[in-house]
Amino acid sequence: MNSINRRSLLAAGLGVAGAGALAACDGSGSAPALVSPSGTAVAAADKKRTTSGKTHDLTLTAARATADLGAGITARTWAFSGQTPGRELRVSAGDTLAATLSNQLPNRTTTSIHWHGIALRNDMDGVPPATQSAVRAGRNFTYRFTADAPGTYFFHPHVGVQLDRGLYAPLIVEDPREPLSYDEEWVLVLDDWLDGVTGTPDDVFAELRQGMGGMDMGDTHMGSSSPSSSSGHDMGGMSHNTPSASSSGGSMGESFMLMGARSSLLGGDAGDVNYPHHLINGRVAADPEVFRSKPGKRVRLRLINAGADTAYRVALGGHKLTITHTDGFPVRHQQTDALLIGMGERYDVLVTLDDGVFPLVASAEGKNATGMAVVRTGSGSTPGTTVRPRELDGVLVAASQLRAADDVRLTSKKADRVHRIELTGGMMTYNWAINGKRFDMNDPTANPIIVEQRQRVRLDFVNTTTMWHPMHLHGHTYQLGSEGPRKDTTIVLPKTTVSVFFDADNPGQWMLHCHNAYHGEAGMMALVAYGT
């Protein structure tokens, strides 16, 4: 299947336009009363969670660290307890996590921890200023919540663009009644990396937020051509500008902006940021992590995209993958050669290992770069960094082509409330927003998207921009269409509409945002809030 056909398939699945009347706005002009993140409704919902009675106590120290990325490459960054990715947390469904964040970051930097994908109690969601005050430098804050849904998750800060540093780690919630049969597990965290190498995420954002209005860049990001006119991995004849690191970690006059990153699969523009490295489990492709096993072993791979600006096309050379879960929830099993994973998304796959040495490649979609790890079950040399398994160009599956497993599919029901979530903005002035309004950190409840407890809610993501956006909803999982997978993060292609449904069963104030860290920080966020 060629890339144009793959793109058409993806668009057909993701571009399902919603039907029906949109919810009317409150014409009274008065601000609606909202459920408090620590109010009685939140406490009442939390009491209904099934608990195991077991508590995991731990401390996560956010501080300066020197990350060893392999091949002699080190990076001065920030990390949890000195390593990136941070140490994997593994609990069983129903367990309580009591995680104390100790903020030892420099320069009076505030931070938080967001437990990405976990439908937890609202005041533990880790989102300043909506659900808590940011944790000040030198202070501690304890997150205490029940993780009652098994699945593959991760955690990261929700302050500024700290996500693009080393402050992230996997969180695996095991199913005490695990229905899958497999011999081993391998958790794989994908990331695009520049911190402490060519600059810092704050340097990147400072440049991006200036926009492209004064720069002669043709229509690379803001052109009027249709997404279908893009040409896969064609870099448009434009060169990559690689920033030079200054003594302060910033750039010396050269751009962090990646020009000509194009992908027909993503509808055109693939990303904004020029990353020198793409990592799997914190390692560069020249010095990869190696998973050692034996031929015939059945392995569960848990894939997490912790990147800030990059979608990855993932394949294991010489093997088929069977997709079993996305964003923690089971799907009807589907075999594929490769899968597409956007920022914030997670996939679980099963694979039966052959005999030999095989590259697991995460190709940075549209960016002409890769991350790599290695599976070794026998003798043979380690694949080179430029290896491109043929599976990457074979059958490719994205979330829109999956179907929810029967036991997690939402019951058929007419939506009680429908909200149009228009994704707006562009690179020219870097004015990313939702419904034309940038999220105001000083007034987070200024323009809430109101829902009521026990409602079936439909969100119509209407992407009016020329770039794709992975849209993430906190505190809930939604379903793509009437039979699609249950997810908390989904790719919305340019000039398409994606309709998702969820049951309002977790009261509070929840962020809805693009999981491109720079788009979200620029303003593509909104508050989904329960009315009282």
DSSP string, 432-473: -EETTB---TTSTTSS-EEE-TT-EEEEEEEE-SSB-EEEEE
Q: Torsion angle of alpha carbons 135, 138, 139, 141, nearest 10°?
A: 70
What distance in Å separates the CA atoms of residue 412 and residue 482, rounded to the nearest whole number?
Answer: 7
What distance in Å separates the CA atoms of residue 414 and residue 92, rounded to the nearest whole number?
Answer: 34
Task: Give the number of other Cβ atoms within 10 Å of residue 27's Cβ.
Answer: 6
Give 197's contacts (C-beta < 8 A, 6+ positions apart): 73, 75, 245, 276, 277
Please tell me whether residue 191 adopts helix, strand or coil conformation. Answer: strand
What distance in Å separates the CA atoms of residue 472 and residue 119, rounded to the nearest whole number?
Answer: 13
> Minimal CA–CA distance to 282: which of 301, 259, 262, 306?
306
What distance in Å separates the CA atoms of residue 341 and residue 489, rounded to the nearest whole number?
Answer: 10
What distance in Å separates the CA atoms of residue 321 and residue 323, rounded to the nearest whole number?
Answer: 6
What distance in Å separates the CA atoms of residue 49 and residue 146, rounded to the nearest whole number?
Answer: 7
State both tokens at 72. 């002699």
Strands (E) across 254-355 are located at: 262-263, 268-269, 277-280, 290-292, 298-305, 312-316, 321-326, 329-336, 338-341, 346-352
Q: Are 337 and 156 in contact (CB under 8 A)?
A: no
- Between the two ends of the chain, the Cα-to-Cα distance in Å is 51
Single-letter amino acid, residue 115 = W
DSSP state of 86: P
Q: Are strands 338-341 and 449-451 parallel, antiparallel or unpaired?
A: unpaired
pLDDT of res. 254: 65
Radius of gyration, CA atoms only, the chain: 22
pLDDT of res. 17: 34
Give 218's contacts (C-beta < 8 A, 6+ positions apart): none
Please tell me whether residue 342 adopts helix, strand or coil conformation. Answer: coil
- The strand pairing partners of 312, in sequence order, are 341, 364
CA 21 vs CA 15, 179, 417, 419, 420: distances in Å: 18, 41, 9, 9, 10
What distance in Å separates the CA atoms of residue 521 and residue 242, rounded to the nearest whole number?
Answer: 23
pLDDT of res. 322: 98
Single-letter amino acid, residue 367 = K
Single-letter amino acid, residue 462 = V
Q: Are strands 338-341 and 396-397 parallel, antiparallel or unpaired?
A: parallel
pLDDT by residue, tens only, the chain of 532 residues: 333 333 333 443 343 333 333 333 444 456 779 999 999 999 999 999 999 999 999 999 999 999 999 999 999 999 999 999 999 999 999 999 999 999 999 999 999 999 999 999 999 999 999 999 999 999 999 999 999 999 999 999 999 999 999 999 999 999 999 999 999 999 999 999 999 999 999 999 999 999 986 454 433 343 333 333 332 322 222 233 333 333 333 444 568 999 889 999 999 999 999 999 999 999 999 999 999 999 999 999 999 999 999 999 999 999 999 999 999 999 999 999 999 999 999 999 999 999 999 999 999 999 999 999 999 999 999 999 999 999 999 999 999 999 999 999 999 999 999 999 999 999 999 999 999 999 999 999 999 999 999 999 999 999 999 999 999 999 999 999 999 999 999 999 999 999 999 999 999 999 999 999 999 999 999 999 999 9
State both tokens at 53. 């009675």
Q: Looking up tokens 């829902």, which residue turns up?
A: 451
Looking at beta carbons, which pairs linking 63-68 to residues 24 or more positions away fall under 8 Å? 63/104, 63/105, 64/104, 64/105, 64/106, 65/166, 67/166, 67/196, 67/282, 68/282
Positive/negative CA dihedral, 306, 307, 308, 310: negative
Single-letter amino acid, residue 253 = G
Q: If 0-12 CB within 10 Å is exposed, 13-18 middle and 19+ buried, where does residue 431 land?
A: middle
Give 311's contacts (C-beta < 8 A, 6+ positions apart): 263, 266, 270, 271, 305, 340, 341, 342, 343, 364, 365, 366, 468, 470, 491
